[in-house]
């Protein structure tokens, strides 16, 4: 079927770009909520309460992974196997199983809260933000699945509409409650917004279940490695907040989170584009085009992001002065380390769709576990001595290791070069360049130099984006030629 769909690649590519714009906007609003609220939330909460809220949301993200059991991935993947018009589907049955498991696990977590919360030391279960984090985790686990179904169904406008409900309700209520109740009120608002978005998403994607015991067992079996993958991704992206809270206190978490929020802007854009790219890759490209695309894209995508991260780092001092109070300062050196992650993450997202297409979740888990262990090891070993810089370095090196493992495996599966040595050189050289750019003075003529470098980086990114577009055009042409040649050489393979 996908070979037939490949004939509409031109129209499909137009949908990818139009959907990408919508998804980028939706994901920037949803996952970039911290960026959007930064000027207000940091001033209402202050550095310590902001750090406490960051610790609670990091805990909620961890619990949400366990509550979901990774079943959201096979649910979305199974969506492509079911008839989109069928009144009863296997993915709907899996969705109900996931919801029951999530509710049971959330109840168990809440009941045992007084015991496991002791690890936080200076604050425990009596802290409202930790208790509300359990509800936020439950809503997040179910929302991730429901909105994933909307993306698989290629309903970007429904996706964005639900996201707007989450943001409007969650942000407004969170900030309103934060004035009187601090971090606990802020997290409560986020939980209510996420719960509202979850209920609406489930309503929009409602379908009757087709109960198939073997399909449920397969979904759980495939989901567990994805859960480990998500858990390891949490270990890469979010776990630093908990280690910083344990070693340095919640005020340090507040400063670290500001730096991570600033540096995550490009990653959010990548995730939005990926939300549109993955359905196109899985549902529209022919087998030849799916084989040719990842090797051709990884280097141009990385260089595009190099220019984008340079712009972000050069503008960071001015943005920090505008967005946050002075008490959150001292993170200028952290931002380039975390921003460099986007280069490796871009190549990873290009490669990982191959594993999703083949339902190979094991190597994704292996890669994520390796990266997370490296990150955690650096955190445990160096944070007490090097502080927040160690947390940022752990994230950067952990993501690079994760990307190396996945890209190398995809290269073997495609029997093609994924240019891994070149990519590694770009990542390390790019990290060094970003650190140097962050050390430029911020006064006098140096501001003009920074501005000129921003223009140069923008021109470089546009040039590389055009090169990426030419590579995609060449893939489309070559894939069509190979497909026609294959049909001509072996007519017996063509159906009646």
pLDDT tens-digit profile of 221-255? Answer: 777 777 877 777 788 777 888 888 888 887 888 88
Helix H or strand E encompassing 353: helix 341-357
Number of residues written out for the chain: 496
Give me 97's structure tokens. Answer: 């199983």
- Banded pLDDT at 483 (limits 50, 70, 90): very low
Output the pLDDT for position 495.
Answer: 31
Supply the DSSP symbol for 88.
E
Output the pLDDT for position 224.
Answer: 77
- β-pairing verdict for 208-209 and 88-89: parallel
Instruction: Write out pLDDT tens, residues 135-183.
Output: 999 998 888 777 777 776 666 677 777 778 888 888 889 899 999 898 8
Output the pLDDT for position 406.
Answer: 93
- Tokens 């989170």 appear where? 257
Output the pLDDT for position 283.
Answer: 64
φ, ψ (nearest 5 deg) of residue 469:
-65, -40
The span from the CA of 425 to the CA of 395, in Å, is 18
**8 A C-beta contact, residue 269 and residue 432:** no
The torsion region of residue 212 among left (phi > 0), alpha (psi -120 to 50) and beta comes to: beta
Supply the DSSP symbol for 208.
E
Instruction: Write out pLDDT tens, residues 16-54.
Output: 555 555 555 555 555 556 666 777 888 888 888 888 888
Instruction: Write out pLDDT tens, residues 285-332.
Output: 677 777 778 888 889 889 999 999 999 999 888 888 888 887 777 777
Output the pLDDT for position 292.
Answer: 78
**8 A C-beta contact, residue 65 and residue 137:** no
Output the pLDDT for position 1.
Answer: 38
Query: Sign of the CA dihedral 206, 212, 217, 219?
Result: negative
User: Kindly report the CA angle at 311 between 47 and 43, in degrees rounded to 5?
Assistant: 20
- Banded pLDDT at 9 (limits 50, 70, 90): very low
Instruction: Write out pLDDT tens, residues 423-475.
Output: 999 999 999 999 999 888 888 788 899 999 999 999 999 998 888 888 777 76
The span from the CA of 112 to the CA of 483, in Å, is 58
Instruction: Write out pLDDT tens, residues 398-410.
Output: 999 999 999 999 9
Helix (H, G, I), strand (E, B) or coil at 89: strand
Percentage, residues of the chain above pLDDT 90: 21
Chain mean pLDDT for the chain: 79
Give me 401's structure tokens. Answer: 């290791």
Q: Provide the terminal-to-terminal Cα distance of the chain, rounded to the nearest Å.
A: 14
The span from the CA of 432 to the CA of 251, in Å, is 28
Burial category of 303 from C-beta neighbours within 10 Å (exposed 0-12, middle 13-18, buried 19 and up): buried
- Exposed e or buried b per residue across 482-495, where buried means at least 16 C-beta atoms within 10 angstroms of its C-beta: bbeeeeeeeeeeee
Output the pLDDT for position 103.
Answer: 92
Strand partners, 88: 208
pTM (2 decimals)?
0.70
- Exposed e or buried b per residue across 430-461, where buried means at least 16 C-beta atoms within 10 angstroms of its C-beta: bbebbeebbeeeeeeeeeeebeebbeebeebb
- Banded pLDDT at 4 (limits 50, 70, 90): very low
Max Cα–Cα distance, the chain, nearest Å = 74
The DSSP result for 230-295, as a single string, is HHHHHHHHTHHHHHHHHHH-HHHHHHHHHHHHHHTHHHHHHHHHHHHHHHHHHHTS-HHHHHHHHH
Output the pLDDT for position 51.
Answer: 87
Output the pLDDT for position 484.
Answer: 52
Strand partners, 208: 88
Closest alpha carbon to 467 in 478, 479, 475: 475
**8 A C-beta contact, residue 41 and residue 177:** no
Instruction: Write out pLDDT tens, residues 115-127.
Output: 888 777 667 788 8
CB-facing half-sphere around the CA of 93: CA atoms within 13 A: 18
The span from the CA of 478 to the CA of 467, in Å, is 17
Supply the DSSP symbol for 491.
G
Instruction: Write out pLDDT tens, residues 81-125.
Output: 666 666 677 677 777 888 888 899 999 999 998 888 877 766 778
Give me 46's structure tokens. Answer: 């202050």
The span from the CA of 73 to the CA of 372, in Å, is 20
- Banded pLDDT at 493 (limits 50, 70, 90): very low
């Amino acid at each position: 079927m996908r070979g037939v769909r490949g004939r509409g690649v031109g129209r499909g590519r137009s949908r990818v770009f139009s959907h990408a714009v919508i998804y980028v906007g939706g994901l920037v609003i949803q996952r970039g909520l911290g960026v959007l609220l930064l000027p207000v939330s940091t001033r209402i909460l202050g550095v310590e309460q902001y750090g406490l809220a960051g610790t609670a949301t990091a805990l909620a993200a961890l619990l949400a992974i366990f509550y979901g059991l990774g079943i959201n991935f096979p649910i979305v993947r199974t969506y492509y196997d079911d008839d989109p018009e069928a009144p009863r589907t296997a993915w709907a049955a899996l969705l109900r199983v996931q919801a029951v498991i999530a509710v049971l696990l959330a109840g168990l977590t809440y009941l045992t809260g007084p015991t496991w919360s002791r690890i936080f030391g200076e604050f425990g279960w009596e802290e409202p933000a930790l208790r509300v984090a359990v509800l936020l985790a439950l809503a997040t686990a179910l929302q991730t699945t429901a909105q994933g179904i909307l993306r698989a169904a290629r309903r970007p406008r429904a996706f964005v509409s639900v996201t707007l409900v989450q943001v409007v309700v969650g942000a407004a209520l969170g900030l309103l409650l934060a004035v009187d109740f601090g971090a606990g009120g802020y997290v409560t608002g986020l939980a209510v917004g996420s719960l509202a978005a979850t209920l609406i998403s489930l309503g929009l994607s409602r379908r009757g279940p087709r109960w198939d015991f073997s399909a449920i067992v397969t979904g759980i079996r495939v989901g567990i490695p994805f859960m480990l993958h998500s858990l390891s991704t949490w270990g890469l992206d979010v776990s630093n907040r908990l280690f910083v809270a344990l070693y340095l206190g919640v005020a340090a978490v507040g400063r670290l989170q500001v730096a991570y929020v600033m540096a995550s802007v490009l990653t959010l854009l990548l995730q939005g584009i990926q939300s549109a790219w993955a359905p196109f890759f899985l549902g529209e490209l022919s087998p030849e085009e799916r084989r040719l695309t990842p090797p051709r894209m990884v280097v141009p995508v990385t260089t595009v992001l190099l220019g984008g991260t340079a712009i972000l780092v050069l503008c960071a001092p001015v943005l920090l002065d505008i967005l946050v109070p002075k008490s959150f300062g001292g993170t200028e050196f952290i931002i380039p380390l975390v921003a460099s992650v986007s280069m490796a993450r871009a190549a990873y997202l290009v490669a990982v769709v191959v594993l999703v297409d083949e339902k190979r979740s094991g190597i994704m888990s292996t890669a994520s576990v390796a990266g997370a262990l490296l990150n955690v090891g650096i955190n445990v070993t160096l944070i007490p001595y090097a502080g927040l810089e160690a947390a940022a370095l752990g994230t950067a090196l952990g993501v690079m290791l994760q990307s190396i493992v996945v890209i190398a495996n995809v290269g073997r599966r495609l029997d093609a070069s994924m240019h891994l040595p070149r990519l590694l050189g770009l990542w390390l050289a790019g990290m060094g360049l970003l650190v140097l750019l962050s050390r430029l003075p911020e006064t006098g003529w140096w501001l003009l130099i920074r501005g000129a470098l921003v223009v140069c980086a923008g021109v470089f990114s546009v040039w590389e984006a055009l090169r990426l577009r030419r590579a995609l055009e060449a893939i489309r042409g070559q894939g069509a030629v190979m497909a026609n040649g294959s049909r001509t050489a072996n007519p017996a393979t063509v159906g009646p």
